[in-house]
Amino acid sequence: MALVQSPPMNDAALIAEIDMGSDSSALTVRATVVQASTIFYDTPATLDKAERLLGEAAGYGSQLVVFPEAFIGGYPRGSNFGVTIGNRTAKGKEEFRKYHASAIDVPGPEVDRLAAMAGKYKVFLVMGVIERDGYTLYCTVLFFDSQGHYLGKHRKIMPTALERVIWGFGDGSTIPVFETAIGKIGAAICWENRMPLLRTAMYAKGIEIYCAPTADSRDVWQASMTHIALEGGCFVLSANQFCRRKDYPPPPEYIFSGTEDVLTADSVVCAGGSVIISPSGTVLAGPNYEGEALISADLDVGEIARAKFDFDVVGHYSRPEVLSLIVKDHPANPVTFTSLSSKTEGSQLPLQ
């Protein structure tokens, strides 16, 4: 299954790569983007597949592994959930119930397992999931360090097109950039990568390894990834699923809207295109359109400084007296409760 585009490193080489003293720009990081399909409606089996792929990537010396958008929980490509303007069908509502059941809680047992996997294989893990928060779903990316700790999450702040029917909207509190031993890591999901203000916020947080899990396999996606690498002076790691019709449940359980009569079991419904790009715009690995694969490259962290010398979008190339951005990075809660128990007795007026 796996196509690995770099030779394996032994343990001594890995230690030498990480231990570079005070000169962090001399660091080299082996990164892998996973191009593989979800096992739809079967989250435990998808977690088993994720662990197998993670172990395989670690065996080739990967220190950072990025999975596609919605890998855990599934990207419901082709489905419309029975939605038309002014109407929702009973079948579509049942489809959403099953999709909701395949999502995961954060925190929750699946998150604990992913953390344990990252610790077991000693890799930094970036995983696309469908997050369940009550009865609302979010397209989310989870981050784990190589010691098996859950770092946090990014929720997609703007679902694309019909995605808005099934996914909620993230807010400014979940656009983190994490400072790690291998660099500052963050993520934007699929078409929110085209939002210049979101990208600017991430650049301002100092992102160095920019993860872009996606569901877009078109050639034009590559132009966006190259532009972000050049604009942000960062490495861009874009992971997409590679899926055939047979990777989804058969009809009538799952219908690709209006196309079931022309799709065969082997029809490709998402062609991948996963890629790794350097801060100079050089394609280091991929894009791959051939099938499920592990796509790997060695990231020369010193390339970030070389690229920033030319262009630092939030540094010497900024003009804050002319152009500026305000990011509201607090949670946007629809309801806030103030507990009566938080009031002290001294705050009450005395009886007269």
Condensed to tens digits (0 to 9), the pLDDT of residues 207-264 reads 999 999 999 999 999 999 999 999 999 999 999 999 999 999 998 888 887 766 688 9
**Which residues on adjacent β-strands are paired with residue 47?**
none
Lowest mean pLDDT among 14-23, 51-60, 90-99: 14-23
Show the tokens assigned to 129: 């999931």
262-305, pLDDT tens digit by residue? 889 999 999 999 999 999 999 999 999 999 999 999 999 999 99
Residue 347 predicted with pLDDT over 50: no
Lowest mean pLDDT among 12-21, 52-61, 166-175, 189-198: 12-21
pTM recorded for the entire structure: 0.88
**pLDDT at residue 260 in the model:** 65
Which three-class secondary structure state does DSSP give residue 96? helix
Tell me the CATH number of domain 28-338, given options 2.60.40.10, 1.10.3720.10, 3.60.110.10, 3.50.50.60: 3.60.110.10
First to last CA, the chain: 81
**pLDDT at residue 25 in the model:** 65
75-117, pLDDT tens digit by residue? 999 999 989 999 999 999 999 999 999 999 999 999 999 999 9
Cα dihedral sign for 36, 215, 212, 166? negative
Q: How far apart are CA 193 and CA 213, in angstroms?
A: 10
**Which residues on adjacent β-strands are paired with residue 143?**
126, 152
- Residue whose token pair is 């796509």: 295
- Residue whose token pair is 């009809």: 251
C-alpha 298, offset from chain centre:
20
H or E segment to which residue 268 belongs: strand 268-271
Q: Would you kindly state where each structural domain of the chain is located, as residue ranges? A: 28-338
Q: How far apart are CA 81 and CA 70, in angstroms?
A: 17
| Residues ≥6 apart with Cβ < 8 Å to 269 | 77, 78, 243, 244, 245, 247, 248, 256, 263
Decide: 72 and 241 in contact? Cβ < 8 Å: no
Which three-class secondary structure state does DSSP give residue 192? helix
Burial 277-288 (b: 16+ CB within 10 A, else e): bbbeeebbbbbb
C-alpha 130, offset from chain centre:
11
**pLDDT at residue 5 in the model:** 53
Please give the positions annotated as active site: 69
